[in-house]
A and B are shown apart, each in its own frame.
Chain A
């Protein structure tokens, strides 16, 4: 690989090569990601269709496989209508600010061993920070539209996303406590040791088992954070039409959807990395690799759809209660439990390589 790339690198010179190579890496990550986002919409309609004993899209192309392409083309050629009372600049910035963080966060998320755009030290922190600015797209869009429905949707989104970030943050604290690192690759590698790993059943030494309550809290908070059903009061059709997206059309509307699905994939990938060992193989006799990461992420994405097809929408006060009165206390107590467990003689994280020497 290096032998092939070296002449190209020499041609560009060191500074320019850094830019070119970063762009290549970004494209290599984002193009498959956007294809996944497109086919996630297809998978959602198909899977929920089957769950409701329907066929789902089946007209465009074989098995309806060209449906996402057709949808994208349709939205691309539709006019982006800007309401006359809207704050024009912010109205356009809204959807962009919704999509940009959900793509930017992928910079620190590894998809395989060493397969990451930027292998930074504080990857987990950076991810939290980028995830916390996702809410601006929704708020700005809701306010700039100058419509009651959009504004109410934005208010709901702001309160909901800020609330669930607290629980999300606390469950991440426990993960980083036991792995002793904020770097995703270190967190994954720290799950590859332990009693069960030595016995060949390494899926039992991944973080999901010792941190089971946090694993559940993290995933449910992730669903709430992405405003997916049953937490989708932000765009609850029966009350506030489509929330912040009510006046958007064409590509501007599509950007919100891209952001939502990119966020779903991000939450699934991060859950797989933090709690299910990322690209590590579940059993000793199979090799590690990118495909394990893909399988685990796909599993969580399926969970998203499964949850959406199963549960009715929460009432807004119930969402707030779950976030503040159930999840925050659970995670707070578990931070203490894990901390005590770690310094007790029964700690199972003595052998974590990154802990050695500290």
Chain B
């Protein structure tokens, strides 16, 4: 067996097993961590297809950012397992139906004549120093510049919407503009008052006050 084939089967096995554990793990945090492992192995498989940019981006974006925030949220959730498992048998027929439909569709697509090995031969070997990233960038910023920018704009709008939906100023908020904090000058805060020095005369009253506890 070629070394590459071995790596492929290893990555695929770990990918499938961890994907299975995502839906079977009891603890949601474990499930998310298995999903991270699944993403990581998918990245490895893409790397085998010499799509290094996509592989690295998958790891960087999904593993490095999206799943971190996912984990962030799941860790803080208080999940009641008995309530989660309550409707299992009720929803099973619907879920199973969706699963069967998905499987049939997948097998139709993958088993079709357009997706066989003969229809999709291995891509031509790339010369040494071939940069997947450069080729992708050239296509993305020339032929597909408008769709690309449009997608970016949609994401930006989604981001601004999400921020403005969740942003609320509480009454107990102690937020101060940093520029206002930095520009504080002592004259506005402290008043220095010149006072004549006072000298207390040693008297009987002072002795009495000192004697008291």
Chain A interface (Cβ within 8 Å of chain B)? 15, 87, 90, 120-122, 125-126, 128-129, 131-133, 135-136, 139-140, 143, 151, 154-155, 158-159, 161-162, 165, 181-182, 317-318, 321, 358
Contact = CB atoms under 8 A, between A and B. Distances in A.
A15 B76 CA distance: 48
B52 A125 contact: yes
Q: Interface extent on B, as a size class?
A: 20 to 34
Given A122-B53, A143-B29, A132 B71 contact: no
B65 A122 contact: no
Contacts of B69: 158, 162
Contacts of A143: 29, 71, 75
Contacts of A15: 3
A357 B43 CA distance: 31
B52 A121 contact: yes
Contacts of B132: 121-122
A121 B129 contact: yes
A126 B59 CA distance: 9
B64 interface: yes
A318 B75 CA distance: 25
Contact of A182 (B30, B43, B133): B133
Given A129-B59, A139-B71, A165 B64 contact: yes
A125 B55 CA distance: 10
A318 B71 CA distance: 24
Contacts of B60: 125, 128-129, 132
A120 to B, nearest CB: 8
A101 to B, nearest CB: 10
B24 interface: no
Contacts of A154: 75
A155 B74 CA distance: 12
Interface string B87-102: 0000000000000000
Contacts of B3: 15
Contacts of A135: 64, 68
Given A15-B3, A143-B29, A162-B69, A133 B64 contact: yes
Given A125-B133, A136-B36, 13 more contacts: A90-B30, A121-B52, A126-B56, A128-B56, A133-B40, A133-B64, A143-B75, A155-B76, A158-B68, A162-B65, A162-B68, A181-B131, A182-B131
